[in-house]
């Protein structure tokens, strides 16, 4: 089991919430392997397969598991892997947690159960069950915009008492939260932003990194931004953040990962195919994505 120092060193900086490429309705594993290499070659600090950006709700269980296996195989130990292992069913999440541990993930990303709307007591029970069957560190994924329910700071502090619940991917965009959590937990609890547009001020408030959508197509810029921040070069970090802000905004002008998939197709990373109910983005949205890419000097 990793100690606190090892966890802090492992889970920080620019992690990419990997998209899942499709072709003719099937997962495009060749494009996926190329995406993993593209990320690592451009300095990404870690990879997160099968999260929201990876369209996990529309992957079959077999696809979910294989995507994680392919990511781990292609990365080949070059960067840490935090595997998506959440579900709104605790029993189903247990299956995903055990699989990700068995195939060599370094950590697990577990979303708050969507649709069911559990109470805070239900969240504690859910995560405790998963942590008790896991052999790898768990990152809580708090995303009320997708899950309907959110986790309170007090609930997170209770869960952080478990040795294997080590951090949060915070997609609330609440920039006061990192400091509040520092006060009621400690600085060993990993805080990763789940929102690209506020990732830099999140770091300033006490965060450790970001699990990024934009890093799929701008891994070098975002790894440089986080490196600059960690080195105390605030001006460089601010300049990169400013350069990427129109792109951050454009990638969420419609439901993600629709705009991201379109941007990736323009950069020849993969096709723009998504799975229903995510559809091709509108012409006006495509123009916004193109403008964001140009402003960031990516095309």
Active site members? 141, 169
Token pair belonging to 6 = 């090892």
- Scanning the chain, the segments in alpha helix (DSSP H) are 4-10, 29-41, 61-75, 90-103, 120-133, 144-147, 153-159, 177-184, 199-204, 219-230, 234-250, 258-266, 283-295
71 and 81 Cβ atoms separated by less than 8 Å: yes
Sign, CA torsion 117/120/123/129: negative
Q: Give strand pairing partners of 23.
A: 26
CA distances, 146 to each of 184, 190, 223, 254 (Å):
26, 22, 26, 14
Q: Distances from the Cα of 72 to the Cαs of 82, 102, 229, in angstroms?
A: 10, 11, 28
165 beta partners = 138
């Amino acid at each position: 089991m990793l100690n606190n120092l090892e966890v802090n060193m492992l889970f920080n900086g620019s992690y990419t919430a990997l998209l899942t490429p499709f072709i003719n309705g099937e997962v495009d594993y060749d494009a996926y392997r190329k995406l993993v290499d593209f990320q690592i070659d451009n300095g990404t600090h870690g990879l997160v397969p099968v999260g929201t950006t990876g369209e996990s709700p529309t992957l079959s269980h077999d696809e979910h598991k294989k995507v994680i296996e392919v990511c781990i195989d292609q990365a080949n130990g070059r960067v840490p892997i935090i595997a998506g292992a959440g579900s709104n069913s605790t029993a189903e999440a247990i299956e995903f947690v055990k699989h990700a541990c068995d195939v060599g993930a370094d950590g697990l990303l577990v979303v708050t159960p969507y649709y069911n709307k559990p109470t805070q007591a239900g969240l504690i029970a859910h995560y405790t069950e998963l942590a008790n069957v896991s052999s790898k560190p768990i990152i809580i994924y708090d995303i009320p915009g997708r899950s309907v329910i959110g986790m309170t700071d007090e609930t997170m502090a209770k869960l952080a008492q478990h040795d294997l619940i080590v951090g949060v991917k915070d997609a609330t965009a609440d920039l006061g939260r990192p400091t509040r959590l520092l006060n009621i937990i400690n600085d060993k609890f990993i805080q990763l932003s789940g929102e690209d547009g506020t990732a830099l001020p999140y770091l300033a408030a006490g965060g450790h990194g970001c699990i990024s959508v934009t890093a799929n197509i701008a891994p070098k810029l975002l790894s440089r931004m986080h490196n600059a921040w960690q080195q105390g070069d605030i001006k460089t970090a601010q300049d990169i953040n400013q350069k990427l802000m129109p792109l951050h905004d454009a990638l969420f002008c419609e439901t993600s990962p629709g705009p991201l998939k379109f941007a990736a197709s323009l950069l020849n990373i993969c096709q723009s195919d998504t799975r229903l109910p995510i559809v091709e983005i509108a012409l006006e949205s495509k123009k916004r994505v193109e403008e964001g890419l140009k402003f960031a000097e990516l095309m």
